[in-house]
Structure formats: structure tokens, C-alpha cells
Structure 1
Amino acid sequence: MIEVGALRALRSVAALGTLARAAEELGFTASAVSQQIKRLERQVGVPVLAPAGRGVVLTPAGQAIVDAAPEVFQALERCGEAARSVSEGAPRGTLRVVAFSTAIRGLLAPLLRGLSVRCPGLRVHITEQDPEEALHSVDAGTADLALVHDADGLPAAQPPSLTQRLVHTDVGDVVLSRSHPLASATEPLGRADLAGHAWVTSPPGTVCHQWFRRLFAEAPEEPDVRHLVDDFATQLSLVTSGEVIALIPRLARPPLGDDLIAHPLRRQPKREVHAAWRQSADASPALRAVLAEFG
């Protein structure tokens, strides 16, 4: 009979491409993962991995096993959740949550205190991960719940074993110093209002930079970008000088203090935040308790 640990190791190797990366994800040594794979090969009687450069690839037999693995893991999880749901049903144990940094700050951190009062037997363990990595972690069983955002209107590719729910819609505002000429505006700002002003923006490749580029997509001149900074608190420190303004999502925004104000845009950039979890974990009291916090 195939061991569950060996099956999980093979699926991680298949997803990540090397024994070392799979070992890091699973919390084992590369040698231990290698031994699990060899044990699996003895159990099925055929090779499941083949070398490929510095990594490995699945053999046809290995691919067949990985393709069938989700059904095995879902069945095992349903067994465990069925046992928990017929007991007292109180959320308990540890729920492993993976999320991008601003969701941790803006969505998860504010609910932890109330959750600990309502569910004293439940511990929430949070790890920061980008959406694609977070979805893989939940699919692989190394996390229970992911908070992910769409990228420029396009959601991250979701494995078929997962289900998701919209929990928040985030929008971006222009943040500026109270001494800035635009601070006295009484209406939402448009592209014409922003033309000619200097900016600090998030680096290329980030959702916020995509928002910024779209804001000036049809402008006759390139915007004046003075600084590229990934950390939003650092952006705000530069905005305080009065030299530059910034486009910052509300989820990512620390308290502004007395020197800064946030002003809405005429066409507000938006991103949707979804919670994603394994369909086989639907009955989990711990999962349901955390999802209920989002309304």
C-alpha cells in the first residue's frame, strides 16, 4: 500500500521541480524526501522520477500517481473533518493561514483578538506568501486557508481541488501631504489633476505599479516618477516631505497621522481579495470560524 507521506512528497517534488525545494516546503531534509520517493518506487514497482538537469521530472508512472493523488488526500481529509464535525463542533487546534502582506495587516490582524475570545481553543498560524505560492500551499496540504488577490483584474490560477469566496474589495487612493497643492481638492481626482506632479510608486511587477501605469495609460507625457519603493510605510515617509504623492491601497495603508491625507480617485483602481480552501475541508469547524469573521 502506498504511504501517504511518500505520496505527498512526490506531489511536492512534481510541483517544485527539485528534492531540495520539496524538502523545504515539507519541513524535511532532502535526504528524507529522497528516501520517501525510493520507498514509493519499491511499493509501486516502477520508477516515478527521472533526472533532468539540476532537477527531476516525473516518469509516466509518476505522473499517473500525482494525477490520482488529489482524490486520495481529499478522501483522507473528509474522514478527519467528519470525525471532528460529529464531536462538539467547537473550533480547536491550529488553522494554518497563508496570505499576502497587506491582507495580513488589513484583514487578518484586526480579527485575531475577537477570534481568540470567541474560539479560545483555536490557534491561527499565519505565513506571508504571494497568491500563487499560497494556492499551491493549500492545494499541497501545507496550509489550510489562503487569502489571495487578483493581479490586474486576473485571478491567480486555482487548482481544481480548491474553492474560494470573495471576502474584500480593496481600492487605491492618492496620498499626499496637507501642504501639497492638491490637498485642497474637493472632488475625486482625475488624470488631468495629477498631471505634472511627482510620484513615489511601487516597483514594476507589483499590482500597485500596474494601477499606476493604467492611471496614466492615455496621458500625453510620462508621469514624473522620482522614487520606486516597495514598502508603503517608506512611501509615506517620502510623501510627508511634500515633494511627491503616492497611490496606495487602503489595505496597505498605515495610519496617516496629521501630516497626510488620502484623496479618492475619479476612477478608483480595485482588486478583489478571495479566501481559498480545499473543498474537502468544508466541514472544518476551525475553517468555518475564521471564514465567519469576514462576514
Structure 2
Amino acid sequence: MIEVAALHALRSVAALGTMARAAHELGFTASAVSQQIKRLERQVGVEVLAPAGRGVVLTPAGQALVDSSPDVFDALERCAEAARSVAEGAPRGTLRVVAFSTAIRGLLASAVGRLASECPDLEIRISEQDPDRAVHSVDTGSADVALVHDADGLPAPMPFSLDRSLVHTDFGDIVVHRRHPLAQFTVPLTPAALQGNEWVTSPPGTVCHQWFRRLVADLPEAPDVRHLVDDFSSQLSLVASANVVALIPRLARPPLGDDLVALALQRPPTREVHAAWRRSAESSPSIRALVAELSGEA
């Protein structure tokens, strides 16, 4: 009989391309993963991997195994969830959650605190991952729930094996020093009001930089970007100590203190945050409890 752990190892190697990467994701050594693959080859009687440069590729037999594996894992997960649901549907056990950093700060931290008192038998473990990696982790069973955000208005792509639910809509605000001229505005800012300012922004390639470029796209003069900084706390430090302006997502914003002011935009940039989980785990009381808490339905 095929070992489930060995099949899981093959699936991770197929997705990540090397034994080392698969071992890191699974929490094993590369040698342990290699031994699992060799056991799998003995069990099915054929080779499932072949060397390719510094990595490996699936043989046709290995590809057939990987293509069939979702049905196996889905069936096993449905069995486990059926057993858990017998216990009065109470959230219990360990729930592995992967999320981008600002979702951890702005959504998960408070939700986990509330669930700790509401569901004492539930343990939540969080790992930071960007949306693409988070989706992969849930799809391969390395995590149970992912929090992902859309990219430039386009939802994160999901394999058919995953389902999702909108849990939050995030907005961007302008943050300035209390003595900055923009701080005197009492109505939402128009793009024209932003002309002539010095900026600190997130680096190109990030969602927040796309927000910024779209915000200033119609201004008659190119924006004066003085600093490119990925960390939002560092951006706010520059706003507090210099005459620069920042565009900060609300999820990413720590308490501003007395020196900084957040100003709403007339047409603020937005991004949707979704929770994603495997369809085979749909009945999980733990997943349902977390998603309800995140979306304010608890």
C-alpha cells in the first residue's frame, strides 16, 4: 500500500522542483524526503523522479501519481473532518494559518485573541507567507487556511481544490505629520491636493506601489519620491521626522501617536482580503470559526 507521507513528499517535490525545497516546506531533511521517495518507488514498482540539472522532474509514472493524489488527500481529509464534526462541531485541535504580514497585524492578531477565549480547545499557529506561497501551502496540505489579497484589483488565482470567502476590504489613507499643510484638510483629499509633495512609498512591484502610481497618474507633474521603503513602520518614522507624505493601508498601520495624522482620500485605493481553504475541509468547525471571526460574523 502507498504511504500517504511518501505521496505527500512527491507532491511537494513536484511543486517546488528540488528535494531541498520540499524538505524545507515539510519540515524534514532532504535525506528524509529522498528516503520517502525511494520507498514510494519500491511500493509502486517504478521510478517517479528523474534528475534534471540541479533539480528533479517527474517521470510519466510520477506525474500520474501526482495527478491522482488530490483525490486521495481529499478523501482522507473528509474522513478526518467527519470524525471531528461528531464532537458537537466544536473547534478543536491545531489550525495552521498562513498570511501576509499586514493581515497578521491587522486581522489575525485580534481574531486569535478572541478565539482563545471562545474556543479554548483550538490552537492556532500562524506563519507569514506571501499570497502565492500561501495558496500553494494550503493546496498541498502544509497549511489549513490562507489569507490572501488581490493584486491590482485581480483576485489571487486559486486551484479548483480551494474555496474562498471575502473577510475584509482594506483601504489606503494618506499619512502626514500634524504640522504638514495637508493636515489642515477636513474633507477627503482629491488627487490634485497631493501635487507638490515629497513622498515615501513602497518599492515597485508591490501592491502599495501600484496604488501610489494609480493615485498620482493624472497629476500634471511627476511625484517627488524621496524614499522607497517596504516596511510601513519605517515609512511612518520618515513621515514623523521629515516633510514627506505616505500612502499606507489601514491594515498595515500601527497606532499613529500624537504627531501623525491619517487623511482619507476621495477615491481611496482598496484591496480585498480572502480566506482560502481546501474544499475537502469545508465542514471543519475550526475553519468555520476562524472565517466567521475574521469576517465579523461570529
Q: TM-score range by the shorter chain?
A: over 0.9
In the TM superposition, what is the alpha-carbon distance from 1:266 to its structure 2 partner? 1.6
Residue of structure 1 equivalent to 2:237: 237
Using the size of structure 2 for normalisation, the TM-score is 0.97
TM-superposed CA distance for 1:242, in Å, is 4.3
Q: 2:249 matched to which residue of 1?
A: 249
The amino acid of 1:85's aligned partner reads S
Which aligned pairs between 1:80-229 and structure 2 lie closer than 5 A? Answer: 80-229=80-229
Contact 1:93 1:122 in 2 (8 A): yes
Shift of 1:89: 2.2
- SS of the residue corresponding to residue 98 of structure 2 reads strand
Q: Which residue of 2 aligns with 1:25?
A: 25
Q: Does structure 2 retain, via aligned residues, the 8 Å contact 1:175–1:260? A: yes
Q: Residue 293 of structure 1 corresponds to which residue in structure 2?
A: 293
Q: What's the CA shift for 1:70?
A: 0.6
Write the distance in 2 (CA, Å) between the matches of 1:157 and 1:6.
27
Where 2:251 maps in the other structure, the secondary structure is coil
* Aligned-partner Cα distance in 1 for 2:222–2:14: 44
Does 2:50 match 1:46? no
CA contact (8 A) 1:176 1:242 kept: no
CA contact (8 A) 1:18 1:56 kept: yes
**Alignment partners' CA distance in 2, 1:113 and 1:216:** 38
Segments of 4+ moved more than 6 angstroms: none
What CA RMSD, in Å, does the superposition of the two structures yield over aligned residues? 1.0
d(CA) in 1 for partners of 2:218, 2:53: 45
The 8 Å contact of residues 180 and 242 in structure 1, kept in 2 or not, is answered as: no
Q: Deviations over 1:61-91 (max 9, x none)?
A: 1111111111100000000110111123221
Provide the aligned length of Structure 1 versus Structure 2: 295
Tell me, which stretches of 5 or more residues in structure 2 are unaligned?
A: none
Task: Return 5+ residue gaps in structure 1 as ranges.
Answer: none
Q: Deviations over 1:177-210 (max 9, x none)?
A: 1100111112211221111100000111111111
- What amino acid sits opposite 1:156 in the alignment? A
Per-residue deviation, 1:94:
0.7
Secondary structure at the residue paired with 1:154? coil
Q: Calculate percent identity across the aligned residue pairs.
A: 74
Superposition TM-score, scaled by structure 1 size? 0.98
- Contact 1:179 / 1:242 at 8 angstroms: preserved in 2? no
CA distance in 1, matches of 2:105, 2:68: 37
Once structures 1 and 2 are overlaid, which stretch shifts more, 154-163 or 246-255?
Answer: 154-163
Distance 1:31 1:114 in 2: 41
Residue range with higher mean Cα deviation, 99-108 or 281-290: 281-290
My pick for the range that moved more, 98-107 or 56-65, is 56-65
TM-aligned CA deviation for residue 219 of structure 1 = 2.8
Which deviates further from its counterpart, 26-35 or 82-91? Answer: 82-91
**Cα shift readout 1:104-131 (whole Å, capped 9, x = no counterpart):** 0000111222211111111110110000
